[in-house]
A and B are shown apart, each in its own frame.
Chain A
Amino acid sequence: DGGITQSPKYLFRKEGQNVTLSCEQNLNHDAMYWYRQDPGQGLRLIYYSQIVNDFQKGDIAEGYSVSREKKESFPLTVTSAQKNPTAFYLCASSPGFTNEKLFFGSGTQLSVL
Protein backbone atom coordinates (compact mmCIF):
# COMPACT_ATOMS: atom_id res chain seq x y z
CA ASP A 1 0.00 0.00 0.00
CA GLY A 2 1.77 3.11 -1.22
CA GLY A 3 1.31 6.50 0.26
CA ILE A 4 2.18 8.12 3.55
CA THR A 5 3.03 6.14 6.63
CA GLN A 6 2.93 7.68 10.08
CA SER A 7 4.24 5.91 13.14
CA PRO A 8 3.51 5.20 15.84
CA LYS A 9 -0.27 5.33 15.91
CA TYR A 10 -0.25 6.19 19.62
CA LEU A 11 2.54 7.85 21.56
CA PHE A 12 2.89 8.86 25.16
CA ARG A 13 5.20 11.56 26.43
CA LYS A 14 6.47 12.15 29.91
CA GLU A 15 6.95 15.64 31.25
CA GLY A 16 10.15 17.21 29.97
CA GLN A 17 10.68 14.57 27.32
CA ASN A 18 11.21 15.07 23.61
CA VAL A 19 9.39 12.68 21.30
CA THR A 20 9.67 12.18 17.56
CA LEU A 21 6.83 11.33 15.21
CA SER A 22 7.74 9.57 12.01
CA CYS A 23 6.36 10.38 8.55
CA GLU A 24 7.49 8.53 5.43
CA GLN A 25 6.13 8.78 1.90
CA ASN A 26 6.83 6.73 -1.22
CA LEU A 27 4.91 8.99 -3.59
CA ASN A 28 7.99 10.87 -4.75
CA HIS A 29 6.37 14.10 -3.55
CA ASP A 30 8.50 17.19 -3.09
CA ALA A 31 6.40 18.91 -0.44
CA MET A 32 5.52 17.61 3.01
CA TYR A 33 3.52 19.07 5.89
CA TRP A 34 2.70 18.56 9.55
CA TYR A 35 -0.69 19.51 10.93
CA ARG A 36 -2.02 19.41 14.46
CA GLN A 37 -5.67 18.68 15.24
CA ASP A 38 -7.30 19.44 18.56
CA PRO A 39 -10.89 18.52 19.46
CA GLY A 40 -13.32 21.06 18.06
CA GLN A 41 -10.65 22.81 16.05
CA GLY A 42 -9.54 22.63 12.47
CA LEU A 43 -6.17 21.39 11.34
CA ARG A 44 -3.39 23.85 12.06
CA LEU A 45 -0.10 23.89 10.17
CA ILE A 46 3.02 23.31 12.26
CA TYR A 47 5.80 23.05 9.68
CA TYR A 48 6.13 22.45 5.97
CA SER A 49 8.91 21.55 3.59
CA GLN A 50 8.96 22.36 -0.09
CA ILE A 51 12.09 20.40 -0.90
CA VAL A 52 14.84 18.38 0.72
CA ASN A 53 16.94 20.28 3.25
CA ASP A 54 14.42 23.09 3.40
CA PHE A 55 11.55 23.69 5.79
CA GLN A 56 9.47 26.61 6.98
CA LYS A 57 7.46 27.38 10.09
CA GLY A 58 3.72 27.22 9.89
CA ASP A 59 1.23 28.92 12.16
CA ILE A 60 2.04 27.04 15.39
CA ALA A 61 5.71 26.04 15.15
CA GLU A 62 6.72 26.92 18.72
CA GLY A 63 7.80 23.87 20.67
CA TYR A 64 8.29 21.75 17.56
CA SER A 65 11.21 20.97 15.28
CA VAL A 66 11.56 19.11 11.99
CA SER A 67 14.20 17.91 9.56
CA ARG A 68 14.10 17.00 5.88
CA GLU A 69 17.29 15.14 5.13
CA LYS A 70 15.63 12.77 2.69
CA LYS A 71 12.81 13.36 0.23
CA GLU A 72 10.84 10.46 1.69
CA SER A 73 11.04 11.45 5.34
CA PHE A 74 9.83 14.41 7.38
CA PRO A 75 10.02 13.61 11.11
CA LEU A 76 8.47 15.93 13.69
CA THR A 77 9.98 16.33 17.14
CA VAL A 78 7.72 17.56 19.92
CA THR A 79 10.08 19.18 22.39
CA SER A 80 9.67 19.80 26.09
CA ALA A 81 9.03 23.44 25.21
CA GLN A 82 5.64 22.47 23.81
CA LYS A 83 3.49 22.88 26.91
CA ASN A 84 0.32 21.40 25.49
CA PRO A 85 1.39 18.57 23.19
CA THR A 86 -1.65 16.33 23.56
CA ALA A 87 -3.23 16.29 20.10
CA PHE A 88 -3.70 14.32 16.92
CA TYR A 89 -0.88 14.91 14.44
CA LEU A 90 -1.33 14.51 10.71
CA CYS A 91 1.41 14.38 8.11
CA ALA A 92 0.67 15.18 4.47
CA SER A 93 2.48 15.49 1.18
CA SER A 94 1.86 16.96 -2.26
CA PRO A 95 3.69 16.64 -5.58
CA GLY A 96 4.78 20.26 -5.42
CA PHE A 97 4.25 23.16 -3.11
CA THR A 98 1.67 24.76 -5.34
CA ASN A 99 -0.32 21.60 -5.84
CA GLU A 100 -3.49 21.82 -3.85
CA LYS A 101 -4.10 18.10 -3.54
CA LEU A 102 -2.68 16.95 -0.24
CA PHE A 103 -2.26 13.27 0.56
CA PHE A 104 -2.63 12.56 4.27
CA GLY A 105 -1.27 9.92 6.58
CA SER A 106 -3.42 8.12 9.13
CA GLY A 107 -2.17 10.21 12.03
CA THR A 108 -0.47 9.86 15.41
CA GLN A 109 -2.26 10.49 18.70
CA LEU A 110 0.15 11.99 21.22
CA SER A 111 -0.76 12.05 24.89
CA VAL A 112 1.07 13.30 27.95
CA LEU A 113 1.50 10.95 30.91
Chain B
Amino acid sequence: AQRVTQPEKLLSVFKGAPVELKCNYSYSGSPELFWYVQYSRQRLQLLLRHISRESIKGFTADLNKGETSFHLKKPFAQEEDSAMYYCALRKGGANNLFFGTGTRLTVIP
Protein backbone atom coordinates (compact mmCIF):
# COMPACT_ATOMS: atom_id res chain seq x y z
CA ALA B 1 0.00 0.00 0.00
CA GLN B 2 1.13 3.52 -0.64
CA ARG B 3 1.80 6.02 2.09
CA VAL B 4 3.12 9.57 2.33
CA THR B 5 4.72 10.71 5.57
CA GLN B 6 5.48 14.27 6.56
CA PRO B 7 7.10 13.93 9.97
CA GLU B 8 6.92 17.61 10.96
CA LYS B 9 3.52 19.14 11.65
CA LEU B 10 5.08 22.53 12.40
CA LEU B 11 8.33 24.06 11.22
CA SER B 12 9.65 27.51 12.04
CA VAL B 13 12.69 29.14 10.48
CA PHE B 14 14.08 32.65 10.45
CA LYS B 15 13.92 34.77 7.33
CA GLY B 16 17.00 34.15 5.21
CA ALA B 17 17.68 30.75 6.71
CA PRO B 18 17.55 27.55 4.67
CA VAL B 19 14.40 25.51 4.91
CA GLU B 20 13.75 21.83 4.29
CA LEU B 21 10.33 20.22 4.53
CA LYS B 22 10.58 16.47 4.75
CA CYS B 23 8.52 13.96 2.82
CA ASN B 24 8.98 10.21 2.78
CA TYR B 25 6.89 7.77 0.84
CA SER B 26 6.27 4.09 0.52
CA TYR B 27 5.06 2.66 -2.76
CA SER B 28 5.98 -0.51 -4.56
CA GLY B 29 5.68 0.93 -8.06
CA SER B 30 7.28 3.89 -9.78
CA PRO B 31 6.01 6.96 -7.95
CA GLU B 32 5.26 10.43 -9.11
CA LEU B 33 5.64 13.01 -6.37
CA PHE B 34 4.25 16.50 -5.97
CA TRP B 35 4.26 19.37 -3.53
CA TYR B 36 1.07 21.35 -2.98
CA VAL B 37 0.91 24.58 -0.98
CA GLN B 38 -1.85 26.51 0.73
CA TYR B 39 -1.14 30.13 1.61
CA SER B 40 -3.28 31.93 4.17
CA ARG B 41 -6.80 32.54 2.84
CA GLN B 42 -5.96 30.93 -0.48
CA ARG B 43 -6.76 27.61 -2.05
CA LEU B 44 -4.58 24.58 -2.15
CA GLN B 45 -2.46 24.74 -5.30
CA LEU B 46 0.29 22.81 -7.02
CA LEU B 47 3.77 24.06 -6.20
CA LEU B 48 5.98 21.67 -8.11
CA ARG B 49 6.22 18.15 -9.49
CA HIS B 50 9.28 15.94 -9.53
CA ILE B 51 9.12 15.05 -13.22
CA SER B 52 9.53 18.69 -14.17
CA ARG B 53 12.70 19.13 -12.13
CA GLU B 54 11.76 22.77 -11.86
CA SER B 55 12.37 25.49 -9.31
CA ILE B 56 9.26 27.36 -8.27
CA LYS B 57 9.50 30.42 -6.02
CA GLY B 58 13.02 29.29 -5.17
CA PHE B 59 11.87 25.86 -4.01
CA THR B 60 13.29 22.62 -5.38
CA ALA B 61 12.63 19.00 -4.58
CA ASP B 62 14.59 15.97 -5.65
CA LEU B 63 13.18 12.49 -5.74
CA ASN B 64 15.54 10.13 -3.94
CA LYS B 65 14.38 6.62 -4.69
CA GLY B 66 17.05 5.06 -2.49
CA GLU B 67 15.84 6.94 0.56
CA THR B 68 12.23 7.08 -0.69
CA SER B 69 12.19 10.79 -0.03
CA PHE B 70 11.04 13.95 -1.79
CA HIS B 71 12.13 16.75 0.50
CA LEU B 72 11.29 20.35 -0.38
CA LYS B 73 14.15 22.81 -0.04
CA LYS B 74 14.81 26.50 -0.31
CA PRO B 75 18.16 28.10 0.46
CA PHE B 76 16.82 31.40 1.83
CA ALA B 77 13.35 31.46 3.36
CA GLN B 78 11.10 34.48 2.85
CA GLU B 79 8.17 35.62 4.96
CA GLU B 80 5.79 34.96 2.08
CA ASP B 81 6.77 31.29 2.18
CA SER B 82 4.75 30.86 5.37
CA ALA B 83 2.03 28.38 4.42
CA MET B 84 0.81 24.82 4.73
CA TYR B 85 2.73 22.39 2.53
CA TYR B 86 1.47 18.99 1.44
CA CYS B 87 3.46 16.25 -0.20
CA ALA B 88 1.47 14.00 -2.54
CA LEU B 89 2.09 10.77 -4.42
CA ARG B 90 0.45 9.54 -7.57
CA LYS B 91 0.50 5.96 -8.66
CA GLY B 92 0.08 4.25 -11.96
CA GLY B 93 -0.35 7.26 -14.21
CA ALA B 94 -3.79 7.87 -12.77
CA ASN B 95 -4.76 10.92 -10.81
CA ASN B 96 -5.49 9.26 -7.50
CA LEU B 97 -3.27 11.47 -5.37
CA PHE B 98 -2.32 10.38 -1.86
CA PHE B 99 -1.55 13.30 0.39
CA GLY B 100 0.58 13.56 3.48
CA THR B 101 -0.68 15.24 6.63
CA GLY B 102 1.01 18.50 5.83
CA THR B 103 3.63 20.75 7.41
CA ARG B 104 2.88 24.27 8.51
CA LEU B 105 5.88 26.46 7.76
CA THR B 106 6.30 29.73 9.59
CA VAL B 107 9.05 32.10 8.54
CA ILE B 108 9.99 34.42 11.37
CA PRO B 109 10.92 37.98 10.32
Binding site for B on A (CB under 8 A): 3, 31, 33, 35, 40-45, 48, 58, 90, 94, 97-106
Contacts and interface: CB of A to CB of B under 8 A. Distances in A.
Given A42-B100, A42-B101, A94-B95, A100 B34 contact: yes
Contacts of B32: 100
Given A40-B101, A42-B101, A90-B44, A102 B95 contact: yes
B16 to A, nearest CB: 30
Nearest to B44: A104
Contact of B95 (A40, A97, A103, A105): A97
Contact of A100 (B43, B90, B100): B90
B70 to A, nearest CB: 14
Contacts of A104: 43-45
Contacts of A35: 99
Interface in B76-109: 86, 90, 93-102
Given A48-B96, A100-B32, A100-B95, A42 B44 contact: no
A48 B95 contact: yes
Contacts of A43: 86, 97, 99
